[in-house]
A and B are shown apart, each in its own frame.
Chain A
Amino acid sequence: MAIAGRDFRELRLDDMSRNFGTVNALKGVTLTVRRGEFIALLGPSGCGKSTALNCLAGLLTLSGGSIWLDTTRIDRLKPEERGFGMVFQNYALFPHMSVRKNIAFGLSMQGRPKAEIERKVDEALAIVRLGEQGHKLPGQLSGGQQQRVAIARAIVIEPPLVLMDEPLSNLDAMLRLEMRAEIRRIHDVIGSATIYVTHDQEEALSLADRIVVMQSGEVLQVGTPEDLYVRPARFEVAEFMGYRNQLHVAAARAGNRVAIKAGGIKLEGTAVEPFVDGDAIAAIRPDDVAVAADGPVEVKTDASQYHGDYFYSSGHTADGVELFFRSDRRLDKGEPVRLAADPSRVLVYSGSRP
């Protein structure tokens, strides 16, 4: 095997591209992953995240660019020569082999002695907490258990990098939460780098050290969960991170704030650089828009949904602009309310690039 052990300093994706006929699935992705990092590739369907993962695994060849593991170029290597572990969306457990044999498969391909294989399989089973299920066939296990076997199979070969392709999407909500914590725990225990593909921003926020937001084959932003949550760099990213209010406004700098106008709305916000006066998009989380008796914006309520601690409401201004906001009580349809938002939480993105 060409690459062994977890001893690498960084994985570098250099302008990675992949085309399918006329479709550019990946348009020059550049990224550096450090040892031990948990990276999430986040984006909607079709953004290229699974394509990127398959290119990393070697299941797809690159149309352009390169992949480096420290100083070794690896994008020309076949998947069986790269030594990465991979967990597939449908688990891809070998149906004709027992759990133990599934997990042992990678080690037996390496030709390790039998005693060593047995020991490592026991260790892996212990890490994923499946000690008793070793002799069962995959068909006899539940979804969550199958998933653990898939993870054990990928980590037992002690790969420098573990690739996960939406591993939780086939589980029900409760199991998903439980397995999410398990995946992070296992990552911390074994210390490999993990690249995790998902379309669920909540999953990415809770699991990752850094998140790579992708759309249409391009990287929109790379940052820590907090960076992306509080300071999304582009309005596409903001949209994906839950900034549901997206207003088309006219914006002009006023001191260290930005004054924005749209129909009956007049607010102050914070510019996201680079910024130029003119047409812009203002993005605000519904959580950051509150009912305030002296608020600058007036809306007529459309709906009010119960969310436990608060109500998730929507309304529209006199000019028909729709806004989503929080309220402490249920608002009646048609009820007029005044809204306010903290300027530091109103992010203004320039419509035209400088």
Chain B
Amino acid sequence: MSEAALRKPADRPPLRVRLALRDIDGVTLLVLPAALFVLVLFIYPFTYGFVLSFKPKAGDWLANYRKFFSDPFLYDTVGATFRLAIPATLINVFVSIPIALRVRRLERRRVLTTLLVVPITLGTVLIAEGLLIYLGPQGWFNRVLSLVGIGHVRLVHNYTGVMLSLILSGFPFAFLLTLSHLTGIDPSLEHAAATLGAKARARFWHIIMPLLAQGLAINLCLSFVQTFSVFPSAVLLGAPAGATRVISIAAYQAAYEQYDASMASAIAMIMGFCQLAVVAVILASRGVWYRGATGGGKG
């Protein structure tokens, strides 16, 4: 700064300095390209789709939504998707808890976590393709079932196949998330509880679960959102015209088979709304448990 500026302390400092005091300078501007990108390619299309859903090909501004909720072929998809997503989410998240509890003290944990990352990496398309053969009438799974006397079970092109694929691709994710939350709980808390007379079950319900509740809520939200968007496995491995006609299929058909972008956007909005509603319910109910740090004090 020049001496002239120093001699006049009553004047306001220059704009650059004022901005720098609020942490705005050249470095801050580095965030702009990425932010603009997300604005243009995410926020804009989303709002565009929202607006578009109220501009149907024919009828008034609510025509798309009315059509959706009056045509069973369309509104049944919501139920079908929930019938798949809710059990799959509950299984994936809650089964991961006892398994994570058992695995967390293992020394060779990394082998297990690496193995579990593979299904996530391979993705839903490959898993659907693989299960088509493996669970099919000639596949090994049914062969083993016949061997032990249970006989052939119809596992493909139906609800069961899609459910199994949702578990195969969704469980590793839920498990890894649970594991990371679990290992974040200070082990000395359980030691303290034990010295105070708490047996294993009491330690689980009084110490671990309340501290895990926060992470569980997030896990449920993320897992649900993932399973609710089921698409390729519902088509390839399920019965896309019947029991597993999920809402993403309806959206896809509206967009690419009927070329009705407005209707497709409307269905996408309904889909987003359902996901948001469930997430809101989950997050609202976690106030029942504890939210905060998982440490045990200074140390």
Q: Which residues in window 142-173 of A have CB below 8 A to B? A: 143, 146, 150, 153-154, 157, 163, 170
**Given the known A-B contacts A59-B191, A143-B298, A146-B298, are A92 and B196 also in contact in the complex, defined by CB atoms under 8 Å?**
no
**Given the known A-B contacts A92-B297, A93-B296, A96-B292, are A105 and B198 also in contact in the complex, defined by CB atoms under 8 Å?**
yes
Query: Complex formed: what's the CA distance from A7 to B106 in Å?
Result: 40
Shortest Cβ gap from B297 to chain A (Å): 4
Q: Is there contact, CB below 8 Å, between A80 and B191? A: no
Q: Is there contact, CB below 8 Å, between A95 and B294? A: yes
Chain A residue with minimal CB distance to B214? A96
| Chain B 186-200: CB-based contact to A (< 8 A → 1; otherwise 0) | 101101111111110
| Chain B 168-208: CB-based contact to A (< 8 A → 1; otherwise 0) | 00000000000000000010110111111111001000110
Q: Is there contact, CB below 8 Å, between B299 and A106? A: no
Q: Which residues of A contact B202 (CB under 8 A)?
A: 109
Q: Which residues of B contact A349 (CB under 8 A)?
A: none
Q: Which residues of B contact A1 (CB under 8 A)?
A: 197
Question: Is A83's beta carbon under 8 Å from chain B?
Answer: yes
Shortest Cβ gap from A333 to chain B (Å): 43
Partner of A79, one of B191, B290, B293: B191
**Given the known A-B contacts A96-B210, A105-B198, A170-B299, are A88 and B192 also in contact in the complex, defined by CB atoms under 8 Å?**
yes
Q: Is there contact, CB below 8 Å, between B191 and A88? A: yes
Partner of A91, one of B206, B290, B298: B298
Interface size on A, residues (CB 8 A): 36
Q: Is there contact, CB below 8 Å, between B196 and A90? A: no
Shortest Cβ gap from A149 to chain B (Å): 9
Partner of A109, one of B189, B197, B211: B197
Query: Complex formed: what's the CA distance from A92 to B198 in Å?
Result: 14
Q: Is there contact, CB below 8 Å, between A146 and B211? A: no
| Chain A 108-121: CB-based contact to B (< 8 A → 1; otherwise 0) | 01100000000000
Query: Complex formed: what's the CA distance from A105 to B189 in Å?
Result: 12
Q: Is there contact, CB below 8 Å, between A92 and B192? A: yes
Q: Is there contact, CB below 8 Å, between A85 and B188? A: no
Q: Which residues of B contact A83 (CB under 8 A)?
A: 197
Query: Complex formed: what's the CA distance from A80 to B200 in Å?
Result: 9
Size category, B interface: 20 to 34
Shortest Cβ gap from B201 to chain A (Å): 11
Question: Is B242's beta carbon under 8 Å from chain A?
Answer: no
Q: Is there contact, CB below 8 Å, between A146 and B195? A: no
Query: Complex formed: what's the CA distance from A82 to B299 in Å?
Result: 26
Q: Which residues of B contact A89 (CB under 8 A)?
A: 299
Q: Is there contact, CB below 8 Å, between A94 and B197? A: no
Partner of B297, one of A57, A58, A80, A90: A90
Q: Please indicate which of the listed interface residues A78, A92, A138 has the most CB atoms of chain B within 10 Å of its own CB.
A: A92
Q: Please indicate which of the listed interface residues B189, B197, B202 has the most CB atoms of chain A within 10 Å of its own CB.
A: B197
**Given the known A-B contacts A88-B188, A96-B210, A96-B290, are A153 and B196 also in contact in the complex, defined by CB atoms under 8 Å?**
yes
Q: Which residues of A contact B196 (CB under 8 A)?
A: 80, 85, 105-106, 109, 153, 157
Q: Is there contact, CB below 8 Å, between B297 and A93? A: yes
Question: Is B295's beta carbon under 8 Å from chain A?
Answer: yes
Q: Which residues in window 76-127 of B have CB below 8 A to A? A: none
Query: Complex formed: what's the CA distance from A288 to B199 in Å?
Result: 55
**Apart from A78-B199, A137-B292: 7 A-B pairs, beta carbons within 8 A:** A57-B195, A79-B194, A88-B296, A90-B188, A91-B297, A94-B193, A143-B298
The 5 closest A-B pairs by CB, nearest first: A90-B299, A96-B290, A106-B196, A109-B197, A92-B192
